[in-house]
Structure 1
């Protein structure tokens, strides 16, 4: 699939922009990437996977910007740049700080856009959140998902009123099937999707066999199956956790490098968000009409 929107137009990035985040201890920095031309540009706030930063995910972000989105990327506290490791006492609360980071970006979006030179060009009324891996759980919280405690009780509501749609790539599943390592170090990976009412696209890899769960690739489809409509599920048949290298070419965790798969994933998310944000549904309609594609992907909705 190739987007009907120009993917050849020039894009620009501005970094770092510091977003006010009292009590965080380390400045919340973001990178903003956008097309050099165009107005009324929708906004994507993107949450990275564990250990990454605002400098990752170029293959995704650049393609979204070329398709007409303003993309804002924060660096979360779990980034390699902070040196906060699994055994650091601060690590246990990073999942909450991640969510607060996205709230801070959205709450200060006007100032972020001004500092990026995009004043008057972005449409703040059309904002979406997207995340990969841990970032998908983070983004899901702003769509309405909650976190279950040890007794199975859902925690607080972290949804954000500015968010109209989202996309979750490799999102943590539910159930008491965490591996011993995950149960000890990542006990917050117990989402409750029953309250995730905001429209969203869930992207799951058919070969994403996580070391965090005993359930296999279907674990990553829970965000679709266990959340209320409207939702869509895009299955990438041969996709592993990085879907071909979302974070960058030849990075260490890319075990299934495939630039074409990354481009397809990026374009499918662009198409979904343009439709969900009431901009243009041509590409999304075409993707749905294609059904199961050529066997390399599948798409269902509710």
Structure 2
């Protein structure tokens, strides 16, 4: 299927300090297209995650990618007064995208009128997965400032989403990422959680099972895809030539592509037993 990408589409955001830049990718044909709003990981931007975006658009999705303030393309440093609140700005970015969806769709020639607004999903990787989880109903322990689940979002794909905070955090994470203390008990929307069983993180004192908390501690319906040998980049989902990928494996990337697409389309799920394992509740 032929696709088109338009970027940057700029949404005014004066309270943010930098207007929100967004990339919109879509099939050139087809109607009633579902939408995926994708939140990138720390330091990335709207230009990343081509292995996923290319696959999803070819499968008939419109993919919307905002660039968050932590992106290396914006150079917001730790001495910037906005820096401690970036996690809140991230949440607001996704909700602004949903609020201004008409503007974003109008930027792509011929796309307006071909989207099914009742089929909107959020997805994200790493910090982006934590950001996306808030729109599915996840909360932050001790903080009730976020708006909560967004009824416009019907499902989610959480790739390497951080687990519980508190005593489970490493001293470094506890000092620098106090907001990283999720509560998944109200995350009722359907979601696919993807974790690598070799993703040993410096953010936690626990083993790689930390990345599966969103599955085990949230209400059904949820599906867990565990990638054998998968590290934080899950085989290389951040880019075709990403230097940050330490576990490069096309089979793992293909598993994420196919399972996430089938999950969002409501199709039967299957995965190569050599690449990973599925579990549902």
Q: TM class by shorter-chain length? A: over 0.9
**TM-score, normalization by structure 1:** 0.89
* 1:301 Cα deviation from its structure 2 partner: 0.9
**TM-score, normalization by structure 2:** 0.95
CA distance in 2, matches of 1:63, 1:112: 20
**Alignment-derived partner of residue 84 in structure 1:** 76
Matches within 5 A, 1:98-113: 98-113=90-105
**Alignment-derived partner of residue 44 in structure 1:** 36
Aligned-residue CA RMSD in angstroms? Answer: 1.4
CA distance in 2, matches of 1:254, 1:286: 26
* 1:259 Cα deviation from its structure 2 partner: 2.4
Q: Does structure 2 conserve the Cα–Cα contact (< 8 Å) formed by 1:145 and 1:193?
A: yes
**Structure 2 stretches lacking a partner, 5+ long:** none
**Alignment-derived partner of residue 169 in structure 1:** 159
* 1:252 Cα deviation from its structure 2 partner: 2.5
- 4+ residue stretches of structure 1 with deviation over 3 A? 86-89, 153-157
Q: Residues 247-271 of structure 1, C-alpha deviation per residue, up to 9 Å, x if partnerless?
A: 1123232101112321220111010
CA distance in 2, matches of 1:232, 1:295: 18
CA distance in 2, matches of 1:212, 1:109: 34
CA distance in 1, matches of 2:79, 2:13: 24
| Count of matched residue pairs | 279
* 1:155 Cα deviation from its structure 2 partner: 5.3
CA distance in 2, matches of 1:77, 1:266: 27
CA distance in 2, matches of 1:61, 1:253: 18
CA distance in 1, matches of 2:194, 2:116: 25
3-state SS of the aligned residue for 1:26?
coil
**Structure 1 stretches lacking a partner, 5+ long:** 1-8, 276-280
**Alignment-derived partner of residue 60 in structure 1:** 52
Question: For the structure 1 residues 184 and 209, does the alpha-carbon distance in structure 2 shift closer, same or farther, using more than 3 Å as the test?
Answer: same
CA distance in 1, matches of 2:171, 2:245: 24
